[in-house]
Amino acid sequence: MATHLSKEKKPAEGRKHQNMQNDTKASQGQWGRAWEVDWFSLASILFLLMFAPLIVYYFIMSCAQYQCSLTDPLLDLLMGNKHLSDIWNNTPTLTYRAAVIYSLWVTFQVVLYLFIPDFCHKFLPGYMGGVQEGAVTPAGVVNKYEINGLQAWIITHVLWFANASCFHFFSPTIIFDNWIPLLWCANILGYAVSTFAMIKGYFFPTNAKDCKFTGNFFYDYMMGIEFNPRIGKWFDFKLFFNGRPGIVAWTLINLSFAAKQQELYGQVTNSMILVNVLQGIYVLDFFWNEAWYLKTIDICHDHFGWYLGWGDCVWLPYLYTLQGLYLVYHPVQLSTAHAIGVLMLGLLGYYIFRMTNHQKDLFRRTSGNCRIWGKKPQYIECSYTSVDGTKFYSKLMTSGFWGWARHFNYTGDLMGSLAYCLACGFEHLLPYFYIVYMTILLTHRCLRDEHRCSSKYGKDWKRYTAAVPYRLLPGIF
Ligand code: NDP
């Protein structure tokens, strides 16, 4: 469901994609996803398409076969102790049981998403659920979304705990016990949805004016063609796949790992509790602020392709949960000082992440008529143009955390990410993958976002960067 802000007419039916592409390109204000693919982007995309699934497999296999050592599999292969076929033959295959579990899981999340309108906003003060509007797309469209992720998360977790404590239909270790067969199911869904999104972008897009065709098959497959693909009025691909099944699953996966520790060692370590609590806060924060999430880069600027489709189905649930998986193989019990240090770092990171995001959200919602740290916020007035030439006005805040650095929310996120890793001690590299990955992701995101904002706001963006010169760390970067 969408509201058109512009008065522009819809393209004539039957018009060829190429014409539409060129017409749109000519009038596009040039903000949003790239139109032209440089060789570096293409090389990165080909690398990711080929190696990202292998990277996920390597991490999960290292835990299953090498007690989470990242170097031992390579050494074994290089020294000829093992062949690739030995490792592969020791890897569990897709099972009927995993296929049933995964299908039920995804179907259940679709049902919760599509058929149970939000009731949480009716009794939770301050929670913004129900029908909400997204940001203006490059074609000048405002989509409507049914925000009911918190409710889906609560229902799913209540059922999980009810099963674990009363019904015992399945063991709480079910996810860990089927971890690799489930990986194959997640891959099938990830590839299926990305391929479907590509075909849909060509033949029956939800909003043709918000499609981008670069002419490069691999780039389009990876970065997506359609901006907001939907089926029917409400099934929005980005909102569904970003939040559920991946992020609802995140906390369940961690709970399953904790249950496995209990089963194997008769206790749950303080490190496992810390990982469950800190990541649980992050997940709950995501659902509490799902309406705010509509204004973040994933929904506002990224098109839906393999990057989001496969990434949400496979990369996120498998690699964001590596700490919990590691702790099943290495049940680290932290000293009290270490545990308190990790908790403090995690909470401080979360506080900075949330407050920075909150400050921008409040500022944008009230159009600057609010107080940041007790004062009226300062800002730079800016303007941009949408596809049809309509001029829009916006503001870039230079107060609060946004006056310290241009992406201080990322800095808080990185502090929290480091805390999850530090909870696993210092014996292995594998749990530190997350902080390395997040640093690359968020630094790249900084650059990508700034490139986009610079195209969008032009000289106004230059005035903003002069007022707030640092990106992540004041005085350093
Ligand atoms: P932001 O929330 O920082 O949004 C960036 C956008 O905000 C810009 O494109 C611009 O959009 C607007 N903006 C930039 N500067 C200002 C300003 N000074 N005042 C007002 N508006 C401004 O980025 P993301 O959407 O990437 O991230 C949201 C959160 O999600 C972050 O905290 C991040 O850490 C987290 N995240 C987590 C990930 C994970 O995997 N765990 C992945 C990605 C993000 P406009 O065009 O509207 O001006």
Structure tokens given for 349:
């990171």
From CA 350, how far away is CA 343, in angstroms rounded? 10
pLDDT digits (tens, 9 = 90+) for 440-453: 999 988 998 899 89
Taken in order 415, 396, 445, 223, is the CA torsion positive or negative? positive
* Strands 391-397, 379-385: pairing kind: antiparallel
Q: Are 408 and 348 in contact (CB under 8 A)?
A: no
Whole-angstrom distance, CA of residue 462 vs CA of residue 477: 17
Q: Are the C-beta atoms of 346 and 372 separated by less than 8 Å?
A: no
Query: Could you tell which of 297, 362, 455 is best to mutate to test the pocket of ligand 1, judged by most ligand atoms within 8 Å of the CB?
Result: 297
Phi then psi for residue 56, to 5 deg, are -60, -45
Q: Contact 16/156 with Cβ under 8 angstroms? A: no
pLDDT tens for residues 29-46?
A: 444 555 667 788 888 899
Q: For residue 351, is pLDDT > 60?
A: yes
Q: Is 394 in the pocket of ligand 1 (CB under 6 A)?
A: yes
Tell me what pLDDT residue 99 has: 98
SS3 helix, strand, coil % of the chain, rounded to 5?
60, 10, 30
Q: Is the CB of 247 under 6 A from ligand 1?
A: no
Residue-wise pLDDT for 97-124, tens only, equals 999 999 999 999 999 999 999 999 999 9
471 lines ligand 1 (CB under 6 A): no
Does ligand 1 have an atom closer than 6 angstroms to the CB of 353? yes
Q: How far is it, in rounded angstroms, from Cα 409 to Cα 402?
A: 9
More confident residue, 408 or 1: 408
Q: Is the CB of 453 under 6 A from ligand 1?
A: yes
Q: Are 243 and 149 spatial neighbours (Cβ–Cβ below 8 Å)?
A: yes
Average pLDDT over the chain, rounded to whole?
89
Which is nearest to 322 in space by CA: 161, 463, 183, 472? 183
Ligand 1 atom at shortest distance from the alpha carbon of 413:
34
Question: Which helix H or strand E contains 141, and what residues bound it?
Answer: strand 141-147
Task: Ligand 1, residue 464: give the atom nearest the CA.
Answer: 18
CB 354 within 8 A of CB 412: yes
Q: How far is CA 464 from CA 45, 135, 168, 376, 402, in A?
A: 31, 21, 57, 18, 11
**Predicted TM-score (pTM) of this structure:** 0.87
How many whole angstroms separate alpha carbon 233 and alpha carbon 134? 14
- pLDDT tens-place string over residues 257-274: 999 999 999 999 999 999
